[in-house]
Structure 1
């Protein structure tokens, strides 16, 4: 081998060795709609030469065959089906609280099994295992325990916007109504909220914040059994979060002011190009009046939905002059109709981009919403759980769709919603304009996420970007001690003025009384 070739390979080795990093990523949420948000970043980091280890219940390569430097640890055996009960008595506020309690309960029950997976235990116990960076799913605070084990910077990434504690860790307390997190169901309509609705939203804010706090306190004890008795509290470990990535556009969160350490990567999972299978393409191309697409996402099976509401939907859909394509989990519909085609799986993102798709009826999941906006397809939203209420309220705010409540809509309302969005071209114009506005950025979401990840790696962290209010106690954030001191000063000043006036009035009274008495005595003589 020539000397020049040896030098070339040596420098190639040095570049790879010095710039590549070893990254551990932990994403415990079972839902595939959440996992697809994390995959592009992991795959791109691996493609750039980093060694990436991902702990997940939904591996992208379950049968192997992925990149050599991407290791996926499959923990799906500890997860079962998640069942949602859509009771007719449940309103959106109750359903948000119920879904968060359920999510926390599921995580609390199944995360220990994930930690006890032999491969995960080997990573935790083997003192020779080192990483340069930890990337974790944002909402699940117990994942911060891994930062105690490896003592590396932490990047949090959220698939559905951000919850209350996540913003608190990065930039302190925001306004629960003006700058809400993703569980404020009616805050996108903040200008029109009634007094009672504001009380409901603030109650939700306090209730869910308390849920997360109690959950963390419980997990602190359990995690010490795995990561050592010297493990600090999760609240203390959250101070090691250097960067927070949120899969949401700034506009979707009412332009919430955030520090530089919070990076918005809304639409990170969207493909630049995609095509539908040939048989589906023929079906779409052959449609005369267009296609209405309906799906309630990966977490909501149609078999769980109330028969009464399904009957209304099928009756209305079967009477439309549109072809209807429905993601349906069963083998057949309860009632056979000529214009409704069902399928257990559909390539939603690519399907929505077909020009014959006129309308999308959705549960309002964030990923479904982003895909519809990217395709320029107006929406009819029927929210059911968690952040879906807020997302669908944003449809109304930006006039890209309409909102129906699952428990309340009638046959007439369902039909009117479809026709209003389908026939009123302003909805399509608005969503196309909205899409173009969101796309018009200096750096695309995936490129932004990769750049900031490597920024943290390059400098060994990004603590210089954290806001002064990060992780601050609410009393300190709102300067309650200073307000109390000022209040005490004002009270004492007012009290002093009161005493002074009282003394002065007494003196004046005494002088006046003496003068009157003197005059009376003078008159007598």
Structure 2
């Protein structure tokens, strides 16, 4: 008994020693992004670390050890803002949005008085958590504070992250998050993604990163190039998992942690619970997320959806921003807000018709609910391709959407055998040595413990010509040219000598 008490005492002392002072910097105003990070941040505080969070989403209810530096009210929160359509022009518009918002986020972050007090009062942090998305400004702040950095994403890698982390990008099997094709692209899709990959990489470098550097220079002297700071991130917690996204060739400082935002389901609201549990044939859930306006669905596509779901026996739950749907179908429950996690957790929910955002896709595989994926923008096309390739669901593109095609997709995912495979895939998803949350917390604490060591790949520090092996190819081609030229010269000399001898013989 005395021995056990000693162990408990030492454990308490050890936990106290490991208590970290952590700063979280989340300068992007996307609500769906912060939904991913919120459970992880609260868990850090719950485990005894002192956490200060800069974001547009301060806590509504206080949490011990969790302190907000609120940017709320300084810009419009992104929710229900993007229309439902896809084209090359919409991808270009997204690129402009990323560039402009990245610079605006940087200015808002550094202009905040409470943020400025962090470096003016020389506060000390053991670790800085940074959302790596459209802006690299927070990397400059972390450098000024002299703390190691853990990068966080709520999505797959952005195009410019491949070079930052020395991860090889090959369009033959690596998706671009804005485009279709998955790991088996056609020739056209390989050309398409090669062009857009380079476009996004250099647009980010030459506009957003360069503008961030100029903005940081107004506050800090002698700041290293952001290109260098981006390559020196101690650890990246990437919100992917190979079971769904497929395997990636990641270096030791990139860790997959997808799934930590999924929490234990709460009780459903009574009206919604009654609607689900009284369904004789089960329920299909329709949601296009918090960023897309479902009401912006083109009229012909909206009618196709309503006509299709009116012909099946299942009840429908639909996230819809208005009070009524055209025709007021009786089998459809609509609301502008729905507890998605709790809905997908219910055993009577048979399928999920989704835009394939990262949150919903993660919750669907967590509960083994098959997906009809209709991607629109951002990482949704690559998520949808992963859903189809993994066997979790099927895809339907907006341009293909008709009553008949949607009914065909619904019949596929509602097939008991298909649903059985989705449940089996979910079991594989859950079969891990640690939970996603424990994995994320472990590597966060590990980055602080090993702050003086680097585990990044040497690939992100070699010159581009060496990384692409252009110098080796140049030497090999030069040698081959010399050999070819030498052989050609010898053959020419021999041929010339033969001609001279033949001429001499003929003149005799």
Q: TM-score, normalised by structure 1?
A: 0.89
Q: For 2:217, which of 216, 221, 224 is the aligned residue? A: 224
**Pairing 1:78–2:74 present:** yes
**Pairing 1:453–2:444 present:** yes
Indicate if the aligned counterparts of 1:172 and 1:472 stay in contact, CA closer than 8 A.
Answer: no
CA distance in 2, matches of 1:9, 1:466: 36
SS in 1 for 2:325: coil
Distance 1:267 1:8, change over 3 A: closer
Aligned-residue offset at 1:8: 12
Distance 1:10 1:379, change over 3 A: closer
Residues 426-455 of structure 1: CA deviation (Å, up to 9, x unaligned): 321221111111211111111111111111
Q: Which of 155-164 and 72-81 deviates more?
A: 72-81
Residues 215-263 of structure 1: CA deviation (Å, up to 9, x unaligned): 212221122112x131121101123201111111124333111112110
Ranges in structure 2 where 5+ consecutive residues have no aligned partner: 1-5
SS in 1 for 2:236: strand
CA distance in 1, matches of 2:14, 2:416: 54
CA distance in 1, matches of 2:129, 2:491: 65
Aligned-residue offset at 1:33: 2.1
CA distance in 2, matches of 1:450, 1:494: 59
**Pairing 1:243–2:235 present:** yes
Distance 1:370 1:344, change over 3 A: same
User: What residue number does 1:256 align with?
Assistant: 248
CA distance in 1, matches of 2:252, 2:344: 34
User: What residue number does 2:3 align with?
Assistant: none
Distance 1:402 1:43, change over 3 A: same
Distance 1:264 1:460, change over 3 A: same
CA distance in 2, matches of 1:36, 1:471: 34
Distance 1:15 1:291, change over 3 A: same
User: What residue number does 1:46 align with?
Assistant: 45
CA distance in 2, matches of 1:185, 1:97: 15
Distance 1:235 1:270, change over 3 A: same
SS in 2 for 1:393: helix
User: What residue number does 1:27 align with?
Assistant: 26
Aligned-residue offset at 1:486: 1.9
CA distance in 1, matches of 2:7, 2:442: 27
User: What residue number does 2:173 align with?
Assistant: 178
User: What residue number does 1:500 align with?
Assistant: 490
Ranges in structure 1 where 5+ consecutive residues have no aligned partner: 1-6, 519-525
User: What residue number does 1:265 align with?
Assistant: 257
Residues 293-329 of structure 1: CA deviation (Å, up to 9, x unaligned): 1111011122332233222222332333221111111
SS in 1 for 2:356: coil
How many correspondences in the alignment?
Answer: 499
Aligned-residue offset at 1:13: 8.6
Indicate if the aligned counterparts of 1:57 and 1:75 stay in contact, CA closer than 8 A.
Answer: yes
Q: For 2:408, which of 396, 413, 416 is the aligned residue? A: 416
CA distance in 2, matches of 1:8, 1:415: 61
Indicate if the aligned counterparts of 1:186 and 1:390 stay in contact, CA closer than 8 A.
Answer: yes
CA distance in 1, matches of 2:248, 2:345: 30
Q: Which of 95-104 and 326-335 deviates more?
A: 95-104
Residues 59-113 of structure 1: CA deviation (Å, up to 9, x unaligned): 3x13x4221x2112221212215432445xx43x543443233233222224312
CA distance in 1, matches of 2:159, 2:335: 37
**Pairing 1:383–2:380 present:** no
Aligned-residue offset at 1:10: 10
User: What residue number does 1:3 align with?
Assistant: none
CA distance in 2, matches of 1:441, 1:15: 27
User: What residue number does 1:467 align with?
Assistant: 457
**Pairing 1:477–2:471 present:** no
Indicate if the aligned counterparts of 2:167 and 2:251 stay in contact, CA closer than 8 A.
Answer: no
CA distance in 1, matches of 2:194, 2:306: 38
Indicate if the aligned counterparts of 1:383 and 1:405 stay in contact, CA closer than 8 A.
Answer: yes
CA distance in 2, matches of 1:425, 1:342: 26
Aligned-residue offset at 1:141: 2.1
Q: Which of 363-372 and 321-330 deviates more?
A: 321-330
Distance 1:448 1:39, change over 3 A: same
- Highest CA radius of gyration, 1 or 2? 1
Residues 132-186 of structure 1: CA deviation (Å, up to 9, x unaligned): 1111012232221112211221111110121122232223432133233534421
Q: Which of 143-152 and 258-267 deviates more?
A: 143-152
Indicate if the aligned counterparts of 2:244 and 2:387 stay in contact, CA closer than 8 A.
Answer: no
Aligned-residue offset at 1:34: 1.3
Q: For 1:432, which of 418, 423, 429 is the aligned residue? A: 423
CA distance in 2, matches of 1:138, 1:312: 38
SS in 1 for 2:102: helix
Aligned-residue offset at 1:272: 4.2
Question: How is 1:82-481 mapped onto 2 (pairs within 5 angstroms)?
Answer: 82=78, 83-87=81-85, 90-91=86-87, 93-127=88-122, 129-139=123-133, 140-180=135-175, 182-188=177-183, 190=184, 193-214=185-206, 215-226=208-219, 228-422=220-414, 424-463=415-454, 465-481=455-471
Aligned-residue offset at 1:37: 1.8
CA distance in 2, matches of 1:441, 1:313: 38
SS in 1 for 2:444: helix
Distance 1:334 1:76, change over 3 A: farther
Indicate if the aligned counterparts of 2:181 and 2:382 stay in contact, CA closer than 8 A.
Answer: yes
Aligned-residue offset at 1:340: 1.0
CA distance in 1, matches of 2:397, 2:104: 31
